[in-house]
Amino acid sequence: MRRSSKVAGFSLLELLIVVVIIGMIAWIAVPRISRGARGAADSSVRANLAALRNAIDLYAAEHNGALPAQSDNSPSTFVAQLTGKTDIHGNVGSDSGVHIYGPYLLSGLPPLSIGPVSGAESVLVATTGPTADQTQQTVGWVYNSLTGDIIANCTESDETGRTYDTY
C-alpha cells in the first residue's frame, strides 16, 4: 500500500504574487503617511500661531489697545501678561477685585513644533520686524511689542514651499 505524500503549500508563483502586491501597497502608502506627519506639523504651527494671535488681540481689546510687553519689551512680561491675571494697566497679580483680566493662555506658551528649535516655548520680544532670528537657537517665537505681530522662529519651508516664519 502506497501512501500519498502530497504536502499542501504555496507555490513559488503564489508567493511572488503576494510579495508584489504587498510592495505595491507599501509604494502607495508610505509617501502618504510621511506627508500626513509633515502636514500635522504644519497644522500645529498654524494652530499655535492662531492661539497666540488671539490671546494678543484679546489682551489688547481688554487693555485699551495696549499690547503685551509694550511697556518694557521683556519676554517674561509677555508670558506673565498672557498667562496670568492682570489689571487694566497690565500689572500681573492675584487680587480678584483688581486683576480681573486674563489669563489668555491657560497652559503657557505653546511649543514650536517644527525646525531646529522644535519644542522651544520661549519668545524673543523685538520692536522691529518680526523676523526669524536663527542666532536665537532656543527661541520658538518672535514677537513685536509695538505691532503685536508674532511669528515662528523658523525659516524652513513647508511642503508647499512657504516658510514657517511667513505663516
Distance of CA 59 to the CA centre of its chain: 21
140-166 burial, b if ≥16 CB within 10 A, otherwise e?
Answer: bbbbbbeebebbbbbeeebeeeeebbe
Within 13 A of 15's CA, how many CA atoms are on the CB side? Answer: 4
Q: What is the pLDDT of residue 5?
A: 63
Strand duo 122-126 + 150-152: pairing: unpaired
* CB neighbour list of residue 14: distance below 8 Å, 6 or more residues apart: none
pTM: 0.77
Any domain includes 3? no
Any domain includes 5? no
Mean pLDDT of 61-69: 96
- Residue 42 pLDDT exceeds 90: no
Query: 67 and 148 in contact (C-beta within 8 Å)?
Result: yes
Among 1-10, 115-124, 143-152, the least confident range: 1-10
Any domain includes 1? no
Bigger pLDDT: 44 or 32? 44
Any domain includes 57? yes
Any domain includes 59? yes
Q: What is the pLDDT of residue 6?
A: 66
Among 37-41, 48-52, 108-112, the least confident range: 37-41
Any domain includes 54? yes
Q: What is the pLDDT of residue 47?
A: 94
Give the containing element (helix H, strand E) for 27.
helix 12-62
Q: What is the pLDDT of residue 30?
A: 77
Query: 87 and 98 in contact (C-beta within 8 Å)?
Result: yes
Give 77's pLDDT tier (boundaries 50, 70, 90).
very high
Any domain includes 4? no
Mean pLDDT, all residues of the chain: 88
Query: 132 and 153 in contact (C-beta within 8 Å)?
Result: yes
Cα-Cα end-to-end distance for the chain? 82
Please count the structural domains in the chain: 1
Mean pLDDT of 105-113: 92
Which domain covers residue 155, as residue numbers? 12-166
- The verdict on whether omega for the bond into residue 116 sits within 30 degrees of 0, i.e. cis, is no
Give 96's pLDDT tier (boundaries 50, 70, 90).
confident
- Residue 1 pLDDT exceeds 60: no
| Cα–Cα dist 129/126, whole Å | 7
Any domain includes 2? no
